[in-house]
Amino acid sequence: MTTTVGGRRPTEETPPGGARAGAPPRIPDWRRKARPYLLSVPAVLLIIGILYAFFYGVYYTVLDYAATNPDPQFVGVANYREVLGDPLFWRSAGTTLLYAVLATGAETVLGVAIALLLNRSSLIGKTFERLLILPLMIAPVIAGVIWKLMFNPQFGVLNHVFGLGSTFDWLSRDRALFSVVLVDVWIYTPFVAILVLAGIRSLPQEPFEASDVDGASWFYMFRRLMLPMMWPYILVAVIFRFMDCLKVFDSVYVLTQGGPGVTTTTLQISAFQDSITNLNYSRGSTYMFLLWIIVFITARYLVGVLGKAQRRAAGAGV
Amino acid sequence: MSEQSRPLPLSRRTALAALGGAAAVPLLSACGVGTGGGGDAAATANGAAEVTGSFDWKALSGESIKILQTPHPYQQAFQPLLKEFTELTGIEVQADLVAEADYFTKLNTELAGRTGAHDVFMTGAYFIWQYGPPGWMEDLAPWIQNSAATSDEYDFEDIYEGLRTSTRWDFEKGSALGTGGQWAIPWGFETNVVAYNKRVFDQRGIALPETFDDFIQVATDLTDRANNTYGVAFRGSKSWATIHPGFMTQFTREGGQDYTAEGTTYTAAMNSDAAVEFTRKWVDLAKNAGPTSWTTYDYPQCTGDLGNGNAMMVYDADSATYPKNKAGASKEAGNLAWYPGPAGPDGSYATNLWTWSLAMNAASKKKQAAWLFIQWATGKDAMNKATASTFADPTRASVFDGSFKQTLGGFPGYLETFEKVIDSTKIQFTPQTKFFETTEDWAVALQDIYSGADAKSRLDELAQANTTKINA
């Protein structure tokens, strides 16, 4: 009788039974069949852990669970009707979207510019490359506290340095959103810059060398070669930052608590106030589930754009 | 085609999109704290009945408890004394500290989870209205009444009556404070009055303003933006805590009321004529003589500006400004003084109070040990010792009149102010379970008015919304 081991037919050197001298012992069939399942167990457990929490949160959205109502009842879509009918939800959604667009836009433009500067090999570039990562090492909450002190008109450093006196309020109704975006830009521009810089350094050199030989200008090479090829890397940074901005909470809450009024109230802050301050868990969960839907749809769309950009970049790179 | 520029396969894209969605999952689940263990206050068994025999501080020697506190002058004054409690009882105490900005977030989550991780926690009187109905707090009245659990020397009645009353409620709509369970024991408290820079007032020969209009005028006169000084600091952040100190005190003195009750139905009254007029003046005061970034100001910024000499007055808790006058604590230490603030048109010195209290977690597994700790910390001996440090104001009349008065030599007007307002000091809010939501909405309305909204129409809108919420 001949048997196969690992899909290979026994050769003349292979003794009957399939085992050669010095070869690993034969793995029983049941173990071979079970191996893929065993290997996937950690991933399955992880997914179950994530999904359990997720669906538990979704379950809350159809209850009327609050601290003042510890025996919750099923209420169907009442929470969704209530939240979607609340002008604060739409105001918070608009603020969140505006925050995400402003912060991601500014971080992308600045991040790409910094990456291009750092791409030139020099001592200053290498030094800045290392210093640039410092804001990323600070927790957003701490960054919020630092910037709140710097924004203070009475003793903050910014009014002093820019000669604004004690009457310029960085966190007034007209400026608060831009100020909280500024803090986000300060923290996360290095993230974009480092991601894009890594992308630039991985680009093939041949097209640039060929263009250089042909006498193309730096701007022409940037616009027609570098930008199309690094576009996928920029988009990856945009996706990460945009999704993160949609979920912003920490730095904004520390700086303004969502104020003045509701000027900087994002969806996360509204959810926090419902869940943690007001102890209305079902309403807070509803806010968060609706935010999850927004993030999911946005992510799907942006990943689609990324795919197209990658195909285009692949064409440019040929 | 280079390897790195090959398009990602669709499955990876899908995975990335799913990853984006999954990134929001922890946030979604974070909103939930577990629905298990529901029930109301009555459903949670009180542990006092299980304690029998004669009282003995050493009854649970060898036990250990965990307490949750926020870094605060009260906590700091008691921290060195904890070893004395251990010597007295043989019970070890582990004190966990959480910054005040996050303290109630942590506490809310922990109590809702019913883990009983901490046996004793610091809380404010308003929080009883929120924590009591779901049964998260132990009613301490049975413990006080049980002679096997409580020392003969405890003397609960020595605690100011207004404070004992402020920590009792039956959670019924329309019910006043002072009925129902004793949900916490007042530990330290504060009256909301005015602290001022006496050096500047004396230099410029300024008399203390007696009416609110005079107060506004003096604050405006003291404001000199070019030299980075301004008249008066008070809270303005987007928080319920903006309403309760200076605002609620002066609001009440000027004839304002938060709600009127008819049976079990409330009607919001923060849009009454008196309330609208006062609110308009208060917001104008913030604009003309308050801190520039008023909408971000909490008490640390207010007292910081007073101590640094930027603010000439602070309308906030007496115990919050008190530490700034201690030698070496601030630039203006030794120059601060206190007065009750302007009286109302009818001479009212009605004052809102805040009391840090000690409460027992209903889910604690060590209730007797927890009660021994609360009893010790709110007792005469420990409180007397704490007044030597930064403990102001003690909640016991005997401690206030005894050791605490002796510490007030370098604090001009502090004692006189206290004695002037104490009889009119109580919680001026209507007790209700939606306190934090509706009061934060009130702060949002103040910020909107500060930013240009019409006071009357904005307060009408607020009153309508709050009436609906509070009666729901």
Please check whether residues B209 and B93 belong to one and the same domain. Answer: no
- A63 inside domain: no
Examine residue B452 and state whether it is found in any structural domain, yes or no.
Answer: yes
- Determine the Cα angle at B343 with ends B338 and B345, to 5°: 170
For residues B119 and B65, the answer to whether their CB atoms sit within 8 Å is yes
Task: List the structure tokens of A68.
Answer: 């003042």
Q: Residues 91..120 of B with a Cβ closer than 8 Å to A: which?
A: 101, 105, 108-109, 112
Contact A66, A282 (CB under 8 A): yes
* DSSP three-state, residue B264: coil
In a domain, A89, yes or no: yes
The whole-angstrom separation of Cα B149 and Cα B53 is 9
Same domain, yes or no: B156 and B253: no
Provide the β-strand partners of residue B354: B190
Q: Which of A201-210, A293-302, B60-69, B220-229 has the lowest mean pLDDT?
A: A201-210
pLDDT of residue A22: 64
Is the ipTM above a cut-off of 0.85? no
Q: Is A303 domain-assigned?
A: yes
Q: DSSP secondary structure string, A153-216?
A: TTT-HHHHHTT-TT---TTSTTTHHHHHHHHHHHHHHHHHHHHHHHHHHTS-SHHHHHHHHTT-
To the nearest whole number, what is the mean pLDDT of chain A? 88
Q: State whether A260 and B239 contact (CB < 8 Å).
A: no
In a domain, B46, yes or no: no
pLDDT at A120 over 80: no
The phi, psi pair for B225, rounded to 5°, reads -60, -35
Read off the amino acid at residue B456.
Answer: K
**Number of domains, chain A:** 1
**What per-residue confidence (pLDDT) applies to B448?**
96
Residues B186 and B199 in one domain: no
Q: Is B274 domain-assigned?
A: yes
Tell me if A22 is assigned to some domain. Answer: no
**What average pLDDT does the segment A69-82 reach?**
91
DSSP B50: G
Do the Cβ atoms of A303 and B13 come within 8 Å? yes
B243 in any annotated domain: yes
On whether both B143 and B230 belong to a single domain, the answer is: no
Determine what percent of chain B falls in helix, strand and coil, rounding each to the nearest 5: 50, 15, 35
In a domain, B20, yes or no: no
- Which of A68, A155, A303 has the CB atom closest to B133's CB atom? A68
**Rg for chain A, CA atoms, rounded:** 28
Give chain B's domain count.
Answer: 2
Q: Are residues B173 and B299 in the same domain?
A: no
The residue range of the domain holding A260 is 78-317
Alpha-carbon distance B143 to nearest alpha carbon in chain A (angstroms): 25
Q: Which range scores top for mean pLDDT: A291-295, A303-307, B280-284?
A: B280-284
Are residues B371 and B383 located together in one domain of the fold? yes
The more confident residue out of A81 and B406 is A81
Is there a single domain that holds both residue B185 and residue B87? Answer: yes
**Per-residue pLDDT at A67:** 83
pTM for this one?
0.84
Note the pLDDT of residue A122: 76
Cβ of A261 and B447 within 8 Å?
yes
Separation in Å, CA of B339 to nearest CA in chain A: 25
Q: Which of B394, B402, B390 is nearest to B377 (CA)?
A: B394
Do B257 and B297 sit in the same domain of this protein? Answer: yes
Is B176 part of the contact surface with chain A (CB cutoff 8 Å)? Answer: no
**Do B32 and A285 lie within an 8 Å CB cutoff?**
yes
Tokens encoding B300 = 């640390």
Host domain of residue B321? 191-352+428-471
CA dist list (Å): B44 to A202, B359, B363, B369, B433? 64, 15, 8, 18, 19
CATH code for the domain of A88? 1.10.3720.10
Cis before A228? omega within 30? no
Confidence class for position A21, pLDDT limits 50, 70, 90: low
- pLDDT on residue B244: 95
Answer whether residue A55 is part of any domain.
no
- CATH code where residue B376 lies: 3.40.190.10
Comparing B92 with A124, which gets the higher pLDDT?
A: B92
Residue A109 lies in a domain: yes
Q: Do residues A248 and A99 touch, judged by C-beta distance below 8 A?
A: yes
Pick from B292, B303, B437 the residue to mutate for testing the A interface (most A CBs within 10 Å).
B292
Does residue B337 fall inside a structural domain? Answer: yes
Whether residue B233 is found in the same domain as residue B180 = no
- Series of mean pLDDT values for 10-residue runs along chain B (472 residues): 38 44 45 43 73 95 96 88 96 94 87 92 94 93 96 96 93 91 95 97 97 98 95 96 97 97 94 97 98 94 96 95 92 97 97 95 96 97 87 89 87 94 93 94 97 97 96 88
If asked whether residues B185 and B211 sit together in one domain, one would say: no
- Mutation target to probe the B interface, by most B beta carbons within 10 A, among A154, A276, A286 is A154
**Which residues of B fall within a CB distance of 8 Å from A288?**
24, 27-28, 30-31
Q: Does residue A34 belong to any structural domain of this protein?
A: no
pLDDT given for residue B15 in this prediction: 43
Under 8 Å between Cβ of B340 and B196: no
Token representation of residue A79? 């929470």
Task: Kindly state whether residue A302 falls inside one of the protein's structural domains.
Answer: yes
As a whole number, mean pLDDT of residues A164-176 equals: 93
* pLDDT reported for residue B232: 98
Whether B371 is covered by a domain: the verdict is: yes
Q: Is the domain of B319 the same as that of B463?
A: yes
pLDDT single digits (tens) A27-63 = 888 888 888 889 999 999 999 998 999 999 999 999 9
Q: Are residues B268 and B328 in the same domain?
A: yes
Is pLDDT of A134 > 90?
Answer: no
CA B171/CA B334 separation, integer angstroms: 44
Q: Per the domain annotation, does B15 fall within a domain?
A: no
| The pLDDT of residue B28 | 47
pLDDT value for B271: 97
